[in-house]
Structure 1
Amino acid sequence: MLIYNPMPAKKDVQVATTSRRVDTFGPRRDAAAVLQASLYVPGNGPLAFNFGGRPYLPPSSPQVFFNFQYTPAKPRIQPVDSGGALRWQDARRLNLSARLPWGRARVLDGPLTGIVYPDYPGPVKPLPVPPTDPEILETYMIANTVNLVVLPSLTPIEAKNVRIGWDADSFSWKFSADIFTHAALELVKPDAEGAKEVELDINGWTWVLLVERYSRQHKFPTEAYSISGATRTQLLAAPYAPQRTGLNAAPITALQAATEQLLYTGFTLTWDAENVGPADWTFPAGTLSYQSQTAMQVIARIAETVGAIVRPSRDSDALEIRPRYPVPPWEWGQVEAPIERIIPPAMMTQLNGDWTPQPAWNACYVSGTSSGVSMLVRRAGTAGDNPAPDVFDDWLTGEQASRARGVHELSKGGNIEIVGFTLPLFPRTDDKGVGLVLPGMLCRVPEESGAWEGLCLSVEISATGTGASRVDQQLKLERHH
C-alpha cells in the first residue's frame, strides 16, 4: 500500500534566505572624506618642551614594531540613481511631405534591346555605345595637307609619295617617303647621335617617326632621295633595346609583368582587362621565364599568349594591349557587338577580295606545360566534334588565359574572305564619322544586299603626288561568311 504525501521533506522546508536592508535614504557617503576625517591633525597652538634630565637606562625588552592602519567601517550599501525617470514620447516623423515620383524606371544597363535572357536577369554592364553614322554626301571636297618636319627644330621638308601603315602583327607604324634635295637628306640622315626624328601630319593625323634608312638614286641629270623608318615604339625592340633574361621569384600578374618591362623607358602601357580585354591572369613563381629577349618581345609574347595584339601610339610613347578579336566572329552580328566604325560603300573607291577558307573548328584543347590548367574550349551550341590543333604554351598558367586563347583559336576558322578597299582619309576635325580606321577595330559595311561585319587587319595611308594631291587609306578586313 502506497501513501502519497504532498508535503516536501523537512530539510527543504526549513530553508530560509537572509536579507539586509540597504541605506535607501541616508546621506551619500564619500570614502575619501571618511578617511580624511579619521586622521588626527595637531592644532597650530604653541608646543611646550621639557628638557629636564634623568638617568639613562638601557632597554631590556626587545624592539617593538608599530603598524598604524586605518580600517574603515562597513556601512550598508546605498542605491545609485534610484530616483531616475525615463521620458517617452512618439518617435520623430521625418519627410512627412516627401513625394515619390511615378513613371517609367530609369534603365541602367544601356538601351532596351528586347533580348530575352533565359539564364540571368540581364547584362552586367551597359551595352557598347553604337558608332557615329557616317555622313553620306554626293561629293566630298577635301583639302589634303601633308607636312613633314624635323624634330625638334620643326624644319619643314618637302616630300612626295608618302606612305605609312600598320598591320595587326607588328608593333610599330612603318613609314617611307621621297624627298627632293640633298640638303633635306642631311637634315634627317642618322649621325653619331643616332636616328633623327620627324613629325608627319596628314590631314590632321600626326605621327612621330624615327628615320632608320635612306637611299639615293642618281640618274643624270636628276637625283632622287628616299627615307624610311618607324614610330618610336621601335626603340623597345632590337637593335635599340637591350636583351634581357628573367625569371619571376614571386607570383606576378601578366599586366604587372608587361608594365615591368617598361620601367625607366618613358613608355606607358594601357591594358583595360575589365572592359576591353583580354583578361589578366597570374604567373606562379618560377613560371614566367625568358632568355635574351627585348622588352617588346616579352610584351608581344604576353599578348600573343591570350590572342591579343600590341597597338602602338602614333605620336606618343605609349602602348595598348587589345584582343585581336574583340568578340568571336559568330557574335559580330549581335546587338551588343562592339562596332567601332561604319564604312558605307559610297565612300569606297576600290574594292577587292581574297577567299581564304579554313576548317570550321568548334573545339580546341588548350593547356600549359609545366604549370597552369588544361581546358577544352568548345563553342556553345555545338558538339565539339571538329577540334582545332591543340595549343600548348608555357605561359598559359590561368583559367582566364586558357579560355581567351581557346576562343582566339576558334575565331580563326570558318569561311573567311579578306576584303580590301580604299577610301579617303578625311581630316581629323571633320572625319565624316569614319576617320582613321585601325587594326583591331570591328567595322560594319552596310551594303545594299545586307550589312556585314569585318575585323580590320591592316591600314596603309598613301599621299601621292607633289603637294599630296590625293590621300587614301587602304584597309583589309577579315569577313566571316
Structure 2
Amino acid sequence: MPENLVFAGTPLLDALDLVFGEGVADSNAKITDLVFAQPPRVHPTRFVFGDSDTSTHPDSLLEVSGALPELVTQLRLVIGVPVAWQAVLPDLVGTVAVKYQSQTQRPMVAQVQTWSQVSLVNESGLTQPQQHAQATNAGATDQAHNAASIRQGVSPSYVEAIRSSREVGSQFQDGCATRSRLHANWSDGLADRRVNSTSPFQEGHRGPTVRAVGRFQDGLHDRRAWLENFWAGAIPRNKGYTGHAGAAVPLKRFLPSAFQEAWVPRPGVHLIPATPPIKPTCWGTALLFACPPLAAPMLMFGARQCEFPSTPPIGVVTVAVRKVYFVINDVSLRRASNGVEVPVNSLSLSLDASSWAWGFDAVLPHSAQSLIEPNGAGVVELLATVNGTTYAVLAENISRERSFGQTSIRLTGRGKNAVLAAPYAPVMTFTNSQARTARQLMDDVLTINGASMGWSVDWGLTDWNVPAGVFSHQGTWIESLSVIAGAAGGYLLPHPRDQTIRVRHRFPVAPWEWATVTPNFVLPVDVVEKESLRWLEKPSYNRVFISGQEAGVLAQVTRAGTAGDSLAPMVVDALISEAAVARQRGLAVLSDTGRQIEVSLNMPVLAETGIIEPGAFVQYRDGGIDRIGLVRSTQVQAGFPEVWQTLGVQTYA
C-alpha cells in the first residue's frame, strides 16, 4: 500500500510551492521536506505515484536444478528368494536468492534534499516562554502559619466515663438474678440479690424455691434433692474381672541352644576326643590300568579301581555351609614411612577389570589431618589393612567436611602403582628399535636410560614377537603397558602392596568351556548376604578379522563348531604381528557376546577367602543351580564394626 502524503506542519511562508523536477522559477522559493509522520486530517488523503495499488503482478517461475544424494545400502541376496526393496529419499533442502526489480525510473535531480539547510534571518518578533520576574507589592500568603488558641470547647472521641446513678443498658453485662422464673439453655447458677436486670447473656441464679431446668449444667451434689443431671457421681460396684494374664507359674523346660555362657572347667583331666583313623579300603590284589591317568594318577587294585575319595582340587577354596559365620574384622590405617597409626572412621577399596590401580576412599577425624598432609617428599603413602590383607595407597585428595558439632576429613587416592601415571609420571615416547617380544617391551618401558625402575611384570599371556619399529606410543609408563596388554585382549591387575604389575587375559578360558573349569572359590548361598542379577543382551558374533598395520598379519578367528556367519567389527592394531596374538585378541572379542548375566554378591570378608580380586573364577551355588563366572569388580566397605565385600561376577545364561 502507498504511504499517505500529509501536510500537517505550519509552512514557513504564506505561499509554498511543491516542486518536483529541475529548476525553480522563483528564486525566493524555499524547499521543505515531505513529512510522513502524522495521520491525515481528512480521510482519505492520499498522494499516489504510479498505477493503482490494486494492480496485480504475474507470478514468477523459479526453476531449480539439483542432484539428489546417492542411495547407498547393503543387501544380502539369497538365490531363489524374491526381494522387495523400498527406500525413502531424503528431502531436498537448499537456499534460493530472489532479486526483485520494480522497473521504475528514478532520475537524478539537480537539487539535493537534506534535513539541514542554511538558515535565513527572519525579522519577525521572537516570543520567549520565560522572562525576568518583576517584583510586585502583592502580599505573600503562607500555606502554614502559627496556630492560635481559641476558647472553643473540644469534644474528644474518647473520654473517661463518669459513673451515673441512672441505669445503663448494655448488650453484655454482669447478670443479676431475678426473683421470677429464669429459663436458659446454658447458665451457671449463682445467687444474687439483684432481681431487676435483664440481659441476653448473663450469669444465671437459681431461685431458692423455683425449679431450674437446663439441658447442660454442672452437677453438684448438695442438699437440693430436686436437681436433675445427666451426669452424676459414680457409684462403686463390685464386679468380678477375668484377665488374660495372671501371675506367672514357674515351669521347668529345657530349650536347646547352640551357644551358652562359658564356665571355668571343673577340676580334673580333660581328654580331647581323638578322631579315629580311616581304615583304607582293600580292593584286592589285581593290578588294573583302566582309569584315566589325568583323573586318577594312582595305582588301583581290585574291581573298584576308578572309585577314589572325592577331595577338592588343589587351590580351590570351598566355603562350608554353616548356620552362623563368625568373622573377627580387623581394619587399620598406618603411614608407610614410620608406621604411625592414622585414626579412621570408615574406608573403602575398589578395583575392576578396566582399572589398573586400586581406588581408595576414607573418612578420618579432624585430628588426623597433620598425618596425611603432603610433605616435602610428595604425597603420603599409607598402608590400609583389612582382615590381614595390606594395601599400599597414596593420599592424593584431601577435603574437609564440617557439620554442627562434628568435623571430618575425607581422603581419596589410588594404589601404589599410581606413581606410573599422571601427574607423577612424565609423558614420553616409547619405541622399539630392535625386534623384541611383548614381554620384553614391557620390561623396556619400566626402565629409565636402560636402568630398571624397580617394578616387575607378572606375565600371564601367550608371548609373541614384535618386529623392529612396530611399537610406538606416546604417554606415561602405565599407559604404554596398557597398550601392549590390550593388543592381546589382556588387562593390568595391580598387586596389593608390592611393585609388581600382573598381566592377565580377560577370558583365560572361553565362556563356552567354563563348565570344565575348576573354580578358585566355591560360595554357597548361605554365605551371601545379598544377591542381585541383571541380564544383558549382546550380539552373538562367531567370527572376527584381526589385522595388523604395516608389518602385521591378517587373521580370521572363528568360534569352533559354528558356521562363522555372524561377523564382528574388524579389529586393527599395530602390535598384531603373529597368529598367537591374533588368536588371543579374537578370543576376547568372541567371548564378550551373547546373553550374559551380571551377578552382584555381597558377602563378608572371611578368613578362608580374604578379599576376592578380579580375574578369579567363582562358582556360586544357589540351591539346585550352579553358576560359574569371572569376577570383574571388587568393592570393600569397612564401616566399623562390619566389613563387607561386593563382587561383580560376569556369567552367561
Alignment of 1:155-304 (within 5 A): 155-182=340-367, 184-263=368-447, 264-272=452-460, 278-291=461-474, 293-304=475-486
- Of 566, 570, 585, the residue aligned with 1:386 is 566
Q: Is the 8 A contact 1:305 1:395 kept in 2?
A: yes
The answer on 1:447 being equivalent to 2:607 is: no
The answer on 1:420 being equivalent to 2:600 is: yes
> Measured at CA, do residues 243 and 103 of structure 1 come closer, stay the same or move farther in structure 2, by a change above 3 Å?
farther
Secondary structure (helix, strand or coil) at the match of 1:332 reads helix
Amino acid at match of 1:261: V
Q: Is the 8 A contact 1:326 1:442 kept in 2?
A: no
Q: Tell me the alpha carbon deviations over residues 345-381 of structure 1, each in whole angstroms, 9 at most, x when there is no partner.
A: 1111111122211011111111111121111110111
Q: Is the 8 A contact 1:416 1:480 kept in 2?
A: yes
Query: How far apart are 1:108 and its partner, in Å?
Result: 9.8
What TM-score comes out, normalization by structure 1 length?
A: 0.70
Alignment of 1:320-359 (within 5 A): 320-334=502-516, 337-359=517-539
Q: Which runs of 5+ in 1 are unaligned?
A: 1-100, 114-127, 273-277
Secondary structure (helix, strand or coil) at the match of 1:377 reads strand
User: C-alpha separation between the residues in 1 aligned to 2:286 and 2:424?
Assistant: 66
Secondary structure (helix, strand or coil) at the match of 2:374 reads coil
Which residue does 1:362 correspond to in 2?
Answer: 542
Amino acid at match of 2:646: Q
Q: Is the 8 A contact 1:333 1:452 kept in 2?
A: no
Deviates more, 1:401-410 or 1:360-369: 360-369
Structure with greater proportional helix content: 1
Query: How far apart are 1:246 and its partner, in Å?
Result: 2.5
Give the length in aligned residue pairs: 351
Q: Is the 8 A contact 2:349 2:361 kept in 1?
A: yes
User: C-alpha separation between the residues in 1 aligned to 2:642 and 2:553?
Assistant: 53
Q: Is the 8 A contact 1:344 1:445 kept in 2?
A: yes
Q: Is the 8 A contact 2:618 2:630 kept in 1?
A: yes
What is the alpha-carbon root mean square deviation over aligned residues?
2.1
Amino acid at match of 1:270: D
Query: How far apart are 1:328 and its partner, in Å?
Result: 0.8
User: C-alpha separation between the residues in 2 aligned to 1:380 and 1:476?
Assistant: 29
The answer on 1:476 being equivalent to 2:648 is: yes
Q: Is the 8 A contact 2:327 2:605 kept in 1?
A: no
> Measured at CA, do residues 243 and 192 of structure 1 come closer, stay the same or move farther in structure 2, by a change above 3 Å?
same
Query: How far apart are 1:110 and its partner, in Å?
Result: 3.3
Which residue does 2:633 correspond to in 1?
Answer: 458
Which residue does 1:90 correspond to in 2?
Answer: none
Q: Is the 8 A contact 2:387 2:610 kept in 1?
A: no
User: C-alpha separation between the residues in 2 aligned to 1:298 and 1:338?
Assistant: 33
Which residue does 1:153 correspond to in 2?
Answer: 338
> Measured at CA, do residues 215 and 373 of structure 1 come closer, stay the same or move farther in structure 2, by a change above 3 Å?
same
Secondary structure (helix, strand or coil) at the match of 2:647 reads strand
> Measured at CA, do residues 357 and 152 of structure 1 come closer, stay the same or move farther in structure 2, by a change above 3 Å?
same
User: C-alpha separation between the residues in 2 aligned to 1:168 and 1:110?
Assistant: 33
User: C-alpha separation between the residues in 1 aligned to 2:357 and 2:288?
Assistant: 50
What TM-score comes out, normalization by structure 2 length?
A: 0.52
User: C-alpha separation between the residues in 2 aligned to 1:130 and 1:315?
Assistant: 22
Query: How far apart are 1:209 and its partner, in Å?
Result: 1.0
User: C-alpha separation between the residues in 2 aligned to 1:199 and 1:457?
Assistant: 24
Q: Which runs of 5+ in 2 are unaligned?
A: 1-284, 298-312
Which residue does 1:57 correspond to in 2?
Answer: none
- Return the structure number with greater relative CO, CA threshold 8 A, min gap 6: 1
Query: How far apart are 1:449 and its partner, in Å?
Result: 2.8
Q: Is the 8 A contact 1:130 1:338 kept in 2?
A: no
User: C-alpha separation between the residues in 2 aligned to 1:216 and 1:439?
Assistant: 32
Q: Is the 8 A contact 1:326 1:338 kept in 2?
A: no
Q: Percent identity?
A: 28
The answer on 1:310 being equivalent to 2:498 is: no
Amino acid at match of 1:471: V
Which residue does 2:589 correspond to in 1?
Answer: 409
Structure with greater proportional strand content: 1
Q: Is the 8 A contact 2:320 2:524 kept in 1?
A: no
Secondary structure (helix, strand or coil) at the match of 2:318 reads coil
Q: Tell me the alpha carbon deviations over residues 247-298 of structure 1, each in whole angstroms, 9 at most, x when there is no partner.
A: 21211000000111122321111114xxxxx21111111111112x111111
